[in-house]
Structure 1
Amino acid sequence: MARHYGMDWLRVGAFGLLILYHIGMVFVPWNFHVKSSHVEDWTTLPMMATNAWRLPLLFVVSGYASRALLRRSVGVGGFLANRSWRLLVPLVFGIAVIVPPQSWVELVTKYHYATGFPYFWLHDYFRFGMLDGIVLPTWNHLWFVGYLWVYTVVLAGLVALVRTEVLQRLFDRAFAGWGVLVIPMLWALAVHAWWFPMAGETHALVDDTMAHFMYVPDFLFGFALARSEPALAALRRYWPVAAVLGLAGFACVVTIEYRWPPSVPTPRWVYRPYGAAHAVQQWGTIAALIGLADRWLNRDAPWRAMLTEAVFPFYIIHQTIIVVVMFWLLPLGLSGNAEFSILVAATVAGCWAFYLGGRAVPLLRPLIGLRAR
C-alpha cells in the first residue's frame, strides 16, 4: 500500500478541529467539566457545523490507518499486540495521571469539593465508585482510545476468521459509483432518524448502543477503503454532490437549533427530522472531505510527518489543559473573547510542550502514544 498523504492531512485536521471543539464546549449551554460565565445559546450554531461528523470521521481515518498497520505487522497477532501496546498504555496512563485534574475541577466548580488536588488524587480519585454523581476513576475524553482498542480487537478477529479478500471484492462492487454516498447515508438515516432519534452517546462502552451502531461501520468502512480504488475514485468524482448534501443537512440542523435553542423544550415530532438532517450532514460532509483529500491533498510536505505523529499526544493532553486553564481564568472576570483567546493559545502551547517533551524522553514515549525509539 502506498501511503495516502491526503488521509494523513485529514487525520491532522480532524484532531485539530476536535481540540477547538472542546474549547468551544466551555462556552455552550451543554454539560462539560467546567463552564465559562459567558455561556450563550448562539454558540451552539457554529458547534453544530462539526458536531455531526467530527467523531465518525476520526473512526473512518483510524480504520484506514489500521489497514496500513496490519500490512506492516507480522500477522494478525503482531498487529493486535502492537495496537494494544500503542493504545492501552497511553489509556491507562491517561486515566491515572492526565484525567484526574478534570474530575477535580468539575467537583470543585459544580459540587463545592473542599479539598485540594493532591488529597483528591491520593484519597478520592481511585475509589472505584461515585462521588457527587461522578464515576471515579474515569476516562473522560479518552473514551475514544478505549473504543478504538475494542474495535481493533473486533477487526483482528474478523481478519483472522474471515476471508477478507472476498469481503473486499464485495465492498468494491457495492461502494463503487453512487453506492459510496447512498449506502452509508441510508445507514446513518436508519440510526439517527429511525432507531435512535435524538439519542445521545454515553461513552461508557457497555451502554452506548447508538454510538457503536455508527462507529463500528465507520471504522470498518475506513479499513476497507484503504484497499478500494473503486470507492476512492467514486468519492473523488462525487465529492461536490456530497458537499451539497452535507451543507443542506447542516442548514436544516441550524434551522431547528435556531427555532428550538437549548433553553426551549423541543417537541418530540422534531426528533426524526432533526435526526435525518444530522445523518445527511454527517455522511455528506465525510464523503466530501475524503474526496477532497484524495483529489487535492495527497502530497507530502515537510511538516506532515511531525504533525501526524503529534496529533495523538495532543489528543491525550488537550482537554486537561482546557479544563485547568479555564478553572484558573474563572476568578479573573475576563470577557468571553479574552477567555477564548487565552484558551486557544494555552492549549496549543501546552500540547506542543507535552509532545516535544515526551518525545525527547525514551521512557515517556509509550505513555504519550509514540513508538519506542
Structure 2
Amino acid sequence: MEARRYDIDWIRVIAIGLLLLYHVAIGFQSWGMLIGFITTEQTWPSLWIPMSMLNVWRIPLLFFVSGMGACFALRQRTWAQLLPERAKRILLPFLFGMVAIVPIHVYLWQQYNDLETGYAPGPGHLWFLGNLFIYVLFLTPLFYYLKRGGGKALARKAEVFMRSPLGLLPMFALFILEVLILEPFPFERYAMTWHGFFLGLLAFFFGYFFVWCGAVFWNMLLRWRWLFLLAAATLFALRLSFFQSLAPNYLVSIESNCWVLAVFAFGYRHFNRPSCLLSYLSQAAYPVYIVHMVFLYLGSLLIFPLGMPVPLQFVLLLLFTFLSCFACYELLIRRVRFIRPLFGLKT
C-alpha cells in the first residue's frame, strides 16, 4: 500500500488558506456586494490581478484533492464503510452549517447594509460540500469496481498513456467539452451552478483516477512540471493582457488545469514530508473554513467604518479573520467532544 501522501495534505491546507485569502480580498472589490459580501467603500482594484489568477483554479483544486482523498479512503474501506464515513465527514457539517453557521454571517450582512434582519438558512459558502457528497454517492460504485479488479485492463492502458503528458489529453478534452456545452459566464461562477457541479464532478473523478494510476502518473508529472507551470503562466498572461480577464472558456479551462497540475507536481517535489505543523493544520483547515465567513463579516463590520487606508484595512481584516477562526477552533471546536463531529472531526 502506498505511503501517506503528505504533499496532498499540504495542498489541501494551502488551497483552503488561499480560498480564505480570496474571500477577504472580495471585500475590497466593487462587485463583491453583488455576490453577498460586505464590501468597503474604498476599493483596491489592483488586488484583482492576483485574484484573477487564483480564481480559475482554487475551487477545481479542492475538488481534485477531494477525489484523491476518496481514493486513499477506499483503499482501507469497503463501499459500505465509506458512505457512512463520508456522511459524517461531509453531509453532517454541511447540514449543520446551513442551519447554524450560514445564517449568522447572513445576519451580519443584513446589519451592515441596513436591511431587515431575519433567519436565513442556506448552503452559502458550504455549497461545495453538498456537491462532494453527491459525487461520493454517484461515483463510489465505479470506484469500487476499479478497486475490486474490474479495471485491470484500464490500469494497464493508463500505465502506458500516463508516461507522457499526452495521456492527459482526454481529461483536457472533457473539461473543454463541459464549458462548450454549458457556456458559463464567467468561468469562475462555480457556486450553485451546473457549471460548478459538472466541473467539480470531473475534477473529483480525475483526482481519484490520478491516485489510482499510481507512481507512473506522479513521475510523469514531476518530469514535466515546468511545462505545466509555463503553460499556465503563459495562458494567464494572455488572458490578462489580450482578453482583459475574459478569455474564451476553453482557454480558461486549459489554464485552470495547467495550474492544478503544476501545483500537484511541485507539491509532490517539495512537500511530501511530515511535520507537526501539517498535523495540526490538516485537522484545523476544515473547521476553520466552515466558520471563516462569520469572522470575515464580523471583522468587516468592525474595520471598514474606521476609514483607514485600504492596504491597512486589508491586513487587519486578514489577521482578524485568521486569528479569530483559529481561536474558535482551538478553544471551542477542537476541545468540545460533541461539537467536533459537526465540523467534520472525529470524536
1:176 & 1:284 partners in 2: Cα distance? 17
1:214 & 1:345 partners in 2: Cα distance? 32
2:145 & 2:264 partners in 1: Cα distance? 29
From the superposition, tell whether residues 192 and 40 of structure 1 become closer, same or farther in structure 2 (CA, over 3 Å): farther
Alignment root-mean-square deviation, CA: 2.2
1:177 & 1:114 partners in 2: Cα distance? 58
Alpha-carbon distance, 1:237 to partner: 1.0
Q: Does 1:234 align with 2:236?
A: no
Q: Does 1:7 align with 2:8?
A: yes
1:332 & 1:68 partners in 2: Cα distance? 48
1:227 match: secondary structure? helix
1:248 match: secondary structure? helix
Alpha-carbon distance, 1:194 to partner: 6.4
1:161 & 1:72 partners in 2: Cα distance? 15
**Percent identity of equivalent pairs:** 27
Relative to the length of structure 1, the TM-score reads: 0.84
1:301 & 1:104 partners in 2: Cα distance? 39
Contact 1:316 1:368 in 2 (8 A): yes
Residue equivalent to 1:185 = 172
Out of 50, 74, 83, the position equivalent to 1:46 is: 50
| Cα deviation 1:82-141 (Å, max 9, x = unaligned) | 00011122112211221112212333344x3245xxxx3xxxx2xxxxxxxxxx421111
Alpha-carbon distance, 1:18 to partner: 0.7
2:75 match: secondary structure? helix
Out of 45, 48, 60, the position equivalent to 1:56 is: 60
Q: How does 1:281-360 map to 2 (within 5 A)?
A: 281-357=255-331, 358-360=333-335
Contact 1:33 1:102 in 2 (8 A): no
Alpha-carbon distance, 1:216 to partner: 0.9
Q: How many residues align?
A: 337
Residue equivalent to 1:224 = 209
Contact 2:162 2:217 in 1 (8 A): yes
2:231 & 2:168 partners in 1: Cα distance? 10
Contact 1:53 1:283 in 2 (8 A): yes
From the superposition, tell whether residues 66 and 324 of structure 1 become closer, same or farther in structure 2 (CA, over 3 Å): same
Contact 1:63 1:220 in 2 (8 A): yes
Q: How does 1:146-161 map to 2 (within 5 A)?
A: 146-160=130-144
Residue equivalent to 1:89 = 92
Q: Does 1:243 align with 2:214?
A: no
Alpha-carbon distance, 1:279 to partner: 1.8
Q: Does 1:27 align with 2:1?
A: no
From the superposition, tell whether residues 105 and 151 of structure 1 become closer, same or farther in structure 2 (CA, over 3 Å): same
2:172 match: secondary structure? helix
Out of 80, 95, 105, the position equivalent to 1:77 is: 80
Residue type at the aligned position of 1:341: V
2:107 & 2:243 partners in 1: Cα distance? 32
Residue equivalent to 1:129 = none
Out of 246, 250, 254, the position equivalent to 1:280 is: 254
2:96 & 2:174 partners in 1: Cα distance? 36
From the superposition, tell whether residues 98 and 152 of structure 1 become closer, same or farther in structure 2 (CA, over 3 Å): same
1:138 match: secondary structure? coil
1:247 & 1:61 partners in 2: Cα distance? 22
Relative to the length of structure 2, the TM-score reads: 0.90
2:20 & 2:217 partners in 1: Cα distance? 30
2:334 match: secondary structure? helix
2:24 & 2:91 partners in 1: Cα distance? 26
Q: Does 1:212 align with 2:197?
A: yes
Residue type at the aligned position of 1:241: L
| Cα deviation 1:199-250 (Å, max 9, x = unaligned) | 453633xxx2222332111111111211322211111111100000000111
Q: Does 1:367 align with 2:321?
A: no
From the superposition, tell whether residues 213 and 175 of structure 1 become closer, same or farther in structure 2 (CA, over 3 Å): farther
Residue type at the aligned position of 1:100: P
| Cα deviation 1:269-328 (Å, max 9, x = unaligned) | xx6x43233223211111111111112221112211111111101111112211121022
2:44 & 2:171 partners in 1: Cα distance? 34
Alpha-carbon distance, 1:170 to partner: 4.2
Q: Does 1:104 align with 2:90?
A: no
